[in-house]
Structure 1
Amino acid sequence: MKKLIPIVMIFIVIAIVITIFLSMSNQKKMVVIHTGNNAKVPVDITLNHFQDTQCGMTITSKENSAQVISPEGKTWFFDDVGCMVLWLEKIDFKEQAVIWVYSHDTNKYIDGKTAWYSRIAKTPMSYGFGAYEAKQEGFIDFNQVILYMQRGENLTDPYVKQKLLGK
């Protein structure tokens, strides 16, 4: 009888693992790349169903989200402008990419290359770059966002956070 207990336990563990894998396979798959966007327009994302290409986080809000579209019409999604900029540095087509960012002031996707950015926005990955259509005092352009991200000068750096927010 004592010899049967370990064998029964092994079968129970195997059954649990199989059940977990089967239940995971029935769940909806997360969208990381959307194909066929030849018009290069922002994709209407379904919240909690799209995943950030850079950090892997689920996109739970359009606010602060971004989309990058390749010349071939593939679209990648991001929950934070900072994640998008980090990812852009790794791709070959960054000069030809169409970039959409969700605007805080107009609540719609706007051209990320012509948008203006706050450095103190509350963003999912805490980089702090919030997109706006209209320029305001202290806002920076897209090229400056890239430069600050390359240098690591964003709200994830305690020194920068202290300087910008006084915290």
Structure 2
Amino acid sequence: MIKKFIPFLIVIVAVILIVSLFLFLASSKRMIVVYEGNIKQLPVKMQEGFYQDSECGMVIEDLRDASQVVIKNGKCWFFHDHGGFVKWLEDKEFKDSAKIWVMSRDTKEWVDARKAYFSLTDDTPMGYGFGAYEKAVDGYINFDTMRLRVLRGETLRNPHIKKQLLGD
């Protein structure tokens, strides 16, 4: 008789655990997904662990490869890998007018993404490989080339490209 109730009890316990987990997450710190009111379109001062990537939803735990997309009405979205903002932005009507800020690996400052240079082989959170730099170095590419490579899948996430660039 008790064996008939075991599956029912397991389902009840699972439901209780899931509800408890959601309640806990709802009461924990609130993540910033979209920041509003940035009319000047300047980079928002970010803190690790408080912002959520708008493309993949992960918490931004390291600002080394962080980026921000800001539009004229002051809305700002955040990303922890430059490849992510390229993919996210592609189908947006404001893709050409948005101000895009990237954290520069060489100067540790926010720089205009359209003026930055990008490496092809940096270790980045989502594995695209494009670290942003303020200063040009041989082998680095410009914003438009980086964007095209992301959209074509020519990133370190592609095993053929990875082997070509890294020899792995």
Q: TM-score scaled to structure 1, two decimals?
A: 0.90
Distance (whole Å) between structure 1 residues aligned to residue 127 and residue 135 of structure 2: 22
Return 5+ residue gaps in structure 1 as ranges: none
More displaced 10-residue stretch of structure 1: 48-57 or 109-118: 48-57
Identity of aligned residues (%): 39
Q: Give the CA deviation at 1:146.
A: 1.0
- Aligned: 1:131 with 2:150: no
Distance (whole Å) between structure 2 residues aligned to residue 110 and residue 136 of structure 1: 16
Return 5+ residue gaps in structure 2 as ranges: none
Secondary structure of 1:77's counterpart equals strand
Q: TM-score scaled to structure 2, two decimals?
A: 0.90
Aligned positions, number: 167
- Quickly say closer, same or farther: Cα 1:144–1:24, change in 2 above 3 A: same
Superposition CA RMSD, Å: 2.1
What is the aligned partner in structure 1 of residue 73 from structure 2? 72
2:162 counterpart letter in structure 1: K
What is the aligned partner in structure 2 of residue 165 from structure 1? 166
Distance (whole Å) between structure 2 residues aligned to residue 128 and residue 83 of structure 1: 11
What is the aligned partner in structure 2 of residue 60 from structure 1? 61
Q: Give the CA deviation at 1:16.
A: 4.1
Distance (whole Å) between structure 2 residues aligned to residue 104 and residue 20 of structure 1: 37
What is the aligned partner in structure 1 of residue 21 from structure 2? 20
Output aligned runs, 1:14-163, within 5 Å: 15-163=16-164
- Quickly say closer, same or farther: Cα 1:121–1:18, change in 2 above 3 A: closer
Q: Give the CA deviation at 1:48.
A: 1.3
